[in-house]
Amino acid sequence: LELVVPADGSDGEDVIIEEEELGNDAPASSPALNAEVETLADGFEFTEGPIWIPATGANASLPNATLLFSDMRTNTIYSWSEADGIGVYSNNSMGTNGKALDLDGQLVGFRSGPRNVARGADPETAQVVASEYEGARFNSPNDGAVNPVDGAIFFSDPIWGILARPNETQELDFHGIYRIDADDASLSLELGGLAMPNGVAFSEEGDILFVSDTGGLPIHPTPELRSDEPPPTISAWALQDGRVLQPPVPLWSREDFSDGMCYNERGLWSTRSGMGPSEYGPKGLVLTDPATGQEIGHIPIDAPTNVECHTDQDGVLYVTSANKISKVTLL
């Protein structure tokens, strides 16, 4: 199997990462959850960053009761709704990967194209809220979430956008999790010791941060950072006054490969994608006990990349995959 790392709206060439051949011998690490998986649309190239715009409460410039998601390789954001079906929301996503709504209902995009975080409904005119740390450009803002209590934006900054654009270089010598303050937009590095941070989510009380880390990257474009260690993990971190409690020691951490994540009243949802080794369990949507880190169950889905669990319908989630968008209804 192969994974194409998308060019994220750039003019760079796609990078092919060879994967191991994934057979059907993956261990059944948890029971299969009872759910119906419906394909809403397919034929895309690499979908990511689903976000549900609620029927009420979002900024008036956003389409309500609508799902937005990106096709990274075509630099397009699509929309889907029960009323209108599939449509094009933006023909220039600016490399927007993950998305979140702030406490004012405005859209926040984590953009690997221009390597920044921006707020606004239109990617081309969105206001940049952060683009560098201590004078160095971010690597490739990938995914993020808004703390439901204080409105701070947390986001991950791995290397994938630079990897897809060989003409660009890494200015930072690490991959971090950052926080943007909701009041004064000040930026702070919350976690700087991760290998390749990816998915970000919060507990409902805003006191726990969940992070997926896809582990060492042996084809890293920066020679000093090339490694197949450490292994991929999902971890939970305590927050105090909205910041990661120091010294940063996880409440729990388990080896597992996940892309995007989402937290709701049922627990922590993660996406065990085809890029990860089969030793971590079946591919698909995985539900974890947020208090212990123990895997509760999974829903088989091929090559998931991200999940949206905050929707207007109880028990309904949306999952992006390599080439399609799916609706998951828990039964």
Q: Give the confidence band of 30 by pLDDT, cuts at 50, 70, 90.
A: confident
Please indicate, yes or no, whether the overall pTM of this predicted structure exceeds 0.85. Answer: yes
CA trace torsion 102, 106, 107, 109 (10° rounding): -60
Cα(5)–Cα(18) distance, integer angstroms = 11
What does 262-306 look like in DSSP terms, one character per residue?
Answer: EEETTEEEEEE-TTS-GGG--SEEEEE-TTT--EEEEEE-SSEEE
Residue listed under structure tokens 């399609």: 324
Q: Give the confidence band of 19 by pLDDT, cuts at 50, 70, 90.
A: very low
- Asked if the model's pLDDT at residue 3 lies above 60, the reply is no
314 near 328, Cβ under 8 Å? no
Strand partners, 52: 67
- Asked if the model's pLDDT at residue 22 lies above 80, the reply is no
What pLDDT does residue 163 have?
A: 82
Residue listed under structure tokens 């859209």: 107
Average the pLDDT over 95-104 and give the result: 97
Helix (H) / strand (E) containing 161: helix 160-163
pLDDT in tens, 251-292: 999 999 999 999 999 999 999 986 666 788 888 999 999 999
